[in-house]
Each structure stands twice: as structure tokens, then as C-alpha cells.
Chain A
């Protein structure tokens, strides 16, 4: 109930239209990976999914941002965020293992392989987490997502959103190929996101 409400507010505020290109919403276990330009990215992407898919999808988010203040904590709980502490990463407890432990065999996950939000127009090179995730769980569908204009709704360092219109585009699922090198795969994944911008 609250989560539906939050999703509706997020959709209205961000004016997000949603496109699925060669792709369908589904409850199979997936990794949605997208470009990262705004703190609103995870919540708007999550809100763009149909409610039955949304209920099974958990965004990965930075703990230090979403645990600051009661409102953010409440929102993070409502959209069922997986809060990962970047300071807490140790050798025997990598974020990939934490994510895999939390999603089990039910949940899908939303993540932003660029790492921190990027102020540039260009999509930054992807970090390797997506690769290790795909390697450890080759059954997960990797769905590229492109988010446009949210950086203008809530840019870096701002706390008040301006209600412009944005666009969320879901692309066709991809997988890690047999024997594909890490850098090749990460470049291919990044291109898959970039390609959606112009479709």
C-alpha cells in the first residue's frame, strides 16, 4: 500500500514515461543495470516496473545516503532497498556476495555499475561487480536500462527536485557469454545501456 503510493508519487514527480524495447516486464530473477545520474535513479527505476514485478525487485543503494534522516530511512524501507555500506567491504565479504545472499532465488536487483553518480554527460566505464554477479549466477537475466533527464530533476548536491519529465527505457536481456573476458563484457554491457538512449 505505502509502496504503491511511493511509486505513484515517484512517477508523477519525475514525469517518467517508460518504454520496453525488445523486452517485457517479467518476474524472473533479473539484474537491472542502469546509468547513474541522480539519487532518484533507483527509486524511479523501481517505480517504473509493474507492481507485481516491483514487489520482487530490490534496488541496491548506498547506505550512507539512505540512512541519513527519517524520511530517507522510511523511503528506503518502503522500496525495499538493499543498503550496502561502501566502508564495510572486506575481502571475505564482497558486495557481490552480499547482493547474492540477499536476493536468494526470488528477488531481482537494480544496480548502477558506474559506481558513484556521474556529473558528465558520458556514461562512465562500468565497475566489475556486474561481471562477477553474472559469473556466479549465470541464470540471472541482465537487463540494460537507460534513464534520461533525471539528473535535471534532482542533480547532484541538490535536495529539492524540479518536476521535469524523464524517460526510462528497458532493453533486451543479455548474458555473460562463455569465456567472455571481463573487460569485453563490461564494455558490451555499457554499450547496451548507451544504445537505448537513441532508440
Chain B
């Protein structure tokens, strides 16, 4: 586990985080440089979230033989919390209560239990438990509660929450059980690479948008997402991915291509979640519930990118 590649990847990230933290602190205490303090605050909050993410991932890796299970549990807790935020901000009716109970107490833990048991052994169940069985169960349970008002809309909201927060995110720890020939025992580094690239892409799209952004994609949804930011982000993320190819089982070209796909999916995730937030009239998923950082705001791009990253890697290396 502690080979040179893992150490250099994690060490490099720690070094960048240290630099970013000191930069953020310096910006916070120097007022006369003409940078919007709100921007500095957002920057610092994001860095704090990364430290947390990094610490949790690193701690989960460090647990040795138990590390795979520990990582899956960490992702389960993130899913659970994100789903809480999602459903809290989604108006539900009394008739949805029992269906929601099943979603939280049965389907979410079950999905992650399958990941613990090994996606390679229970692959079919892993891919259909939520999109087939849960998706059929939810409308039936809501119907049994006897409230037909806005039935389809309510069912769709619960299904969307379960799909994005639980099903899609569970593909990230599933990377740990990918059986890639010649890459055994190193999957944790691949997961780290994936999370790192998604986060880098968020920043790069934001930075390119600030630098060159002119043509806003959908002003009503997100006034800060521009075509320039999107394309610049995709290009620079795929360069970063190519530069980090040594951490993965990919060659340079594969790494660049897969990173471009991660960037596009990350963008799609951010855009989708912005649309949901606009519809609910909130800025962040954390705002209704004061004191909680808004887990969903941090993981929206991971949720969208994880299934595609998993499938592409599997397609390239495991089964054609």
C-alpha cells in the first residue's frame, strides 16, 4: 500500500493543501488587495472541506486490512447525510413517511452492504437493487399510504434523491473491488486519483470561468458557469489526469481521456444540483440547516462522475 506512487500522490496533495491553506489565511488577513472577502471565505471553506475529505480518506486507507471496509463505511455515512439534506429540502407529504423509512433504513444500508461484500461477487444485485427494486417499491409503498396528490412528483423526488445520493455515490467505493490485472492491492490509489481529479475539476472550471468567462450557459440556473470555464476546465483537468497517469493503471492517453470524461460528468452534476437548488430557492444545501456545511454541495460532482469512471475502468481492464 505504501509504495512510492501512493506516497507521492498523497504527499503532493498534502503539499498543495498546505500552500492553499496558508494562501487562504494570508488573503483573509490582508484587506487592501481588492479581492472580494466573500470569495476568500468561500475559498477557505472549500479548503477546510478538502482537509476533511483528505483526512478521512487517508485514515480509511491507513487501517490496513480493514481499510476497504472502513472506506465503504465512510462513503455510506456521506451518502446517508447527503440523502438527509436532499429529502429535508424536498417537500414530502405524510403519505411518504413509510416509503422514506425504507429508503433510509433498508435500501441505503443494503446498497453499501453489497459494496462491503464485494461488488465483484454481487455485481448484478449491486447494479439493480436501487434502480429496479427500490424504484418499484417506492411508488407502491407511497400508493399504499393512500395519498394520491402529486403522486408522480413525490415518487420522482424520493427516487432522484436515492439515485444521486446513494446509488451513484456507491460506485466510488466500488472502485476498491475492481479486479484489474497487474493492479491488485492498489485500487485505493485509483479511488484517491478519482476524488482528486473531480475536486480539481471543480476548481479549474471555477478558475477558468473567473478568468475568461463570457458566455453563461444557463443564467437562470447558475450565473457563474460559462462555456469558457467548462471547456477550460475539461482541457486542464485532462492535462492534470495525463500528468498523474503513473498513479493509475491507465496509459497517458487513457488517463487524459478518462479525466476529460470525469470533468464533463462533474460539470453535469454541479449543473443538475444547481437546478434543484434554484427550484427549492436555496443557495446551498447547508443553508436550511445551519451549522452543517452542506455535504451535498461538496459531492454533487463526485456522484455524477463515479458511475461513469467505474464503468469505463471496468470496460478497459476487467471485462470487455
Q: What string of 1s and 0s marks CB contacts (under 8 Å) between A1-39 and chain B?
A: 000000000000001011100000000000000000000
Which residues of chain B are within 8 angstroms of A160 by Cβ–Cβ distance? 98, 101, 105
For the complex, would chain B's binding face be called helix, strand, loop or mixed by DSSP majority? helix
A158 CA / B98 CA spacing, docked (Å): 9
Given A155-B94, A158-B97, A162-B101, the answer on whether A19 and B290 have CB atoms closer than 8 Å is yes
Which residues of chain A are within 8 angstroms of B5 by Cβ–Cβ distance? none
Residue contact A155 to B97, C-beta cutoff 8 Å: yes
Q: Is B199 an interface residue (CB 8 A)?
A: no
Contact stretch, chosen from A64-72, A129-137, A163-171: A163-171
Q: What string of 1s and 0s marks CB contacts (under 8 Å) between B77-121 and chain A?
A: 000100011011000101001101100110000000000000000
Residue contact A162 to B290, C-beta cutoff 8 Å: no
A13 CA / B80 CA spacing, docked (Å): 12
Q: Is A152 an interface residue (CB 8 A)?
A: yes
Residue contact B88 to A149, C-beta cutoff 8 Å: yes
With beta carbons under 8 angstroms apart, the residue of B84, B101, B105 that contacts A165 is: B84
Given A149-B88, A152-B92, the answer on whether A162 and B289 have CB atoms closer than 8 Å is no
Given A17-B289, A19-B290, A152-B92, the answer on whether A165 and B85 have CB atoms closer than 8 Å is yes
Given A15-B84, A155-B94, the answer on whether A165 and B292 have CB atoms closer than 8 Å is yes
Q: Is B65 an interface residue (CB 8 A)?
A: no
Residue contact A162 to B88, C-beta cutoff 8 Å: no
Q: How far is the CB of A138 from chain B (nearest CB, A)?
A: 33
For the complex, would chain A's binding face be called helix, strand, loop or mixed by DSSP majority? loop
Q: Is B146 an interface residue (CB 8 A)?
A: no
Which residues of chain B are within 8 angstroms of A155 by Cβ–Cβ distance? 94, 97
Which residues of chain A are within 8 angstroms of B34 by Cβ–Cβ distance? none
Residues of A within 8 A of B (CB): 15, 17-19, 149, 152, 155-156, 158, 160-167
Q: 13 pairs across A/B with beta carbons < 8 Å?
A: A15-B88, A17-B289, A17-B290, A19-B290, A19-B291, A152-B88, A152-B97, A155-B94, A158-B97, A160-B101, A162-B101, A165-B288, A165-B292
> Lowest 3 A-B CB distances belong to which pairs?
A17-B291, A165-B88, A162-B100
